[in-house]
Amino acid sequence: MTSWVVLFTPESGVPSAPPGTDKVVHLALFAALAITGRIAGARTAWLLPALAGYAALSEVLQGLLPIGRSCELLDVAVDVAGALLGWALLSLRPSGASPR
């Protein structure tokens, strides 16, 4: 649910921040989604494609919905990179401590 707030808050509700901060937020958000998905037992075979689809769909919706946000291809790339980062970070856990 938090990702919906982050991705679909109207532009007027998004706090101002230094340039590039939104990319850090996108990276961290999708890393967190991948980590929590893996901990919950989601299989990589569908988790990563689902997160990539969510990234693309969320950007298209940002461009189409009357919320004053724009569709940015770079955000999709950063989202996917964040999902891969989250997946990789959880893969670094010692064996025996892996998620389901």
Interatomic CA distance for residues 91 and 67, integer angstroms: 37
What is the average per-residue pLDDT within 34-48?
95
Three-class DSSP category at 32: helix
3 assigned to some structural domain? no
Is there a domain that residue 15 lies in? Answer: no
How many alpha carbons lie under 13 Å from residue 22 in its C-beta half-sphere? 16
Q: Which residue has the tokens 């999902």?
A: 83
How many structural domains comprise the chain? 1
Torsion of CA 72, 5, 57, 25, to 10 degrees: 40
pLDDT of residue 93: 78
Q: Is the pTM of this model over 0.85?
A: yes
- For residue 72, the 8-state DSSP code is -
Tell me the residue range of the domain where 58 lies.
32-91
Asked if 51 and 30 count as a contact pair (C-beta separation under 8 A), the reply is yes
In this prediction, residue 15 carries a pLDDT of: 87
69 located within any domain: yes
Number of CB atoms found within 10 A of residue 32's CB = 15
